[in-house]
């Protein structure tokens, strides 16, 4: 039941992770938003993710994961029910911030729960649960493009309703309370959270999230600027990137039984650099679909396997350590979104140049992975 509760929570987070990139073209048309304003919206959502992930760690360690999951899902449902009634840009900013806060709480709480449930097979369990992130992320653009025919209002209400059902599952699931060893103790925080290893892993996830969420938020707009129809661009995001994440996390499960987690993240980083660079060079939809799919497979194991490395290296205050590292990741989203928006300016055709931030970040990840590997030894 604990794994099931984590799975449905991560599924909902996957749906809202793909939400902004899916509805951004319609929001831009309706409210006449520029790429710079799109970047501001993505930045505000990232700010919510940052603040929530940083603050929720001590709450999870001291009060348990259940209260965090319920709180996060409640905020998500409120934001999604209110978004279709938004009157303008400022209202959108506030609701996307609220959506980010809820998402940050849910992803930190669900991954911390799984990390505690299966400490001996942490990397495998985290990749299994996060496989459903890929399924949720695939569902959002696919439903928008093929079932709702770009009706983003219906999409918001549908995901909000599913979030309420998921909240009920968390409420009725019996979850273990905090243990003395796992509690957040302020006097011990420096010795646990001040280790250089944690900061290196945080920087690694900073770069990774810059890449992954950069694709979620910006890929459809980039493809549309290359002359690809919007419905086709959304299908490339869902049947390409999201499906790649889904298949990649399923395929990596037996590999992690034999291969060290740090080796998996290294290979993934190298593959990310190559595939994300190539996907920006093509204007052909079929080629873009293949390359985006390969990019999804490359990225698939990196996030959950990195969290497994944190869980193994920090058995004390695990929730706080995972929350800190995820916070670093959301900071990458905020920074990269602003950089991409500024480089693109008011011209969507400049997104190709701006999105070179993604393969550039992947190259830096390779060097960081080697440094982390050295410290773990």
**Average pLDDT, integer, range 262-288:** 93
Residue matched to tokens 């060097």: 367
Distance CA 265, CA 268 (A): 5
Residue 187: other Cβ atoms inside 10 A:
6
Burial label, 82 (beta-carbon count in 10 A; 0-12, 13-18, 19+) = middle
| Cα distances (angstroms) measured from residue 34 to each of 30, 80, 89, 300 | 11, 22, 11, 31
Q: Is the distance from CB of 200 to CB of 371 less than 8 angstroms?
A: yes
Question: What pLDDT digit, counting tens, does each position of 50-95 carry?
Answer: 888 777 777 776 777 788 889 999 999 999 999 888 888 889 899 9
What domains appear along the chain, each with residue ranges and CATH number?
Answer: 2-173+187-376 (1.20.1250.20)
Prediction pTM value: 0.74
Query: What percent of the chain stands above pLDDT 90?
Result: 27
Is pLDDT of 139 > 60? yes
For residue 120, which phi and psi values (nearest 5 degrees)? -80, -25
Measured between its terminal Cα atoms, the distance across the chain in Å is 36
pLDDT value at residue 187: 45
User: Mean pLDDT over residues 166-174, rounded?
Assistant: 90
Residue 78 in contact with residue 98, Cβ under 8 Å? yes
Helix H segments across the chain?
Answer: 2-17, 19-31, 35-63, 65-82, 89-117, 122-146, 152-172, 189-193, 196-225, 230-235, 243-258, 261-279, 285-299, 302-313, 318-344, 351-354, 357-376
Q: What is the DSSP letter of 346?
A: T
**For residue 185, what pLDDT band results from cuts at 50, 70 and 90?**
very low
Q: Round to whole Å and give the CA distance between 144 and 154.
A: 9
Give the tens place of pLDDT for each residue, 276-334.
Answer: 999 998 888 899 999 999 999 999 999 889 988 888 877 766 677 887 888 888 788 77
Q: Please state, for a pLDDT cut of 70, what percent of the chain lies above it.
A: 91
Greater pLDDT, 178 or 30: 30
pLDDT given for residue 191 in this prediction? 56
239 has pLDDT over 90: no
Per-residue pLDDT at 184 exceeds 70:
no
- DSSP string for 226-295: TT--HHHHHHIIIIIIIHHHHHHHHHHHHHHHHS-HHHHHHHHHHHHHHHHHHHTT---HHHHHHHHHHH
Question: Please, what is the average pLDDT of the chain?
Answer: 84
Question: Is 59 within 8 Å of 67 (Cβ atoms)?
Answer: yes
Confidence of residue 180 (pLDDT cuts 50, 70, 90): very low
pLDDT in tens, 353-377: 888 999 999 999 999 999 999 888 7
């Amino acid at each position: 039941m604990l794994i099931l509760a984590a799975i449905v929570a991560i599924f909902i987070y996957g749906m809202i992770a793909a939400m902004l990139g899916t509805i951004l073209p319609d929001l831009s048309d309706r409210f006449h938003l520029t790429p710079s304003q799109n970047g501001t919206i993505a930045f505000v959502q990232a700010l919510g993710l940052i603040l929530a992930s940083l603050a929720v760690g001590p709450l999870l360690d001291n009060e348990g994961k259940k209260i965090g999951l319920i709180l996060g899902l409640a905020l998500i449902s409120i934001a999604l029910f209110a978004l279709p009634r938004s009157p303008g840009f400022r209202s959108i900013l506030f609701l996307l911030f609220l959506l980010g806060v809820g998402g940050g709480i849910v992803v930190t709480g669900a991954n911390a729960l799984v990390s505690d449930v299966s400490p001996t097979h942490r990397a495998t369990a985290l990749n299994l649960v996060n496989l459903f992130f890929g399924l949720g992320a695939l569902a959002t653009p696919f439903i928008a493009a093929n079932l709702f025919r770009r009706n983003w209002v219906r999409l918001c209400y549908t995901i909000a309703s599913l979030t309420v059902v998921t909240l009920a599952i968390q409420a009725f699931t019996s979850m273990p309370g905090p243990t003395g060893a796992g509690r957040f103790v302020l006097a011990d925080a420096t010795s646990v959270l001040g280790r250089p290893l944690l900061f290196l892993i945080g920087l690694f996830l900073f770069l990774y999230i810059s890449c992954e969420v950069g694709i979620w938020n910006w890929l459809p707009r980039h493809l549309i600027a290359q002359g690809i129809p919007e419905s086709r661009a959304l299908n490339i995001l869902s049947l390409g990137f999201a499906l790649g994440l889904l298949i990649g996390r399923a395929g990596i499960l037996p590999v992690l039984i034999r291969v060290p987690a740090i080796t998996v993240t290294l290979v993934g980083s190298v593959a990310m650099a190559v595939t994300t660079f190539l996907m920006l060079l093509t204007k052909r939809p079929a080629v873009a679909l293949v390359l985006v799919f390969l990019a999804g497979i490359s990225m698939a194991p990196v996030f959950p396997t990195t969290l497994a490395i944190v869980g193994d290296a920090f058995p004390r205050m695990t929730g706080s350590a995972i929350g800190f590292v995820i916070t670093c990741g959301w900071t990458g989203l905020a920074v990269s979104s602003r950089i991409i928006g500024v480089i693109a300016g008011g011209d969507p055709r400049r997104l190709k140049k701006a999105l070179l931030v993604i393969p550039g970040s992947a190259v830096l990840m390779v060097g960081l992975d080697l440094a982390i590997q050295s410290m773990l030894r």
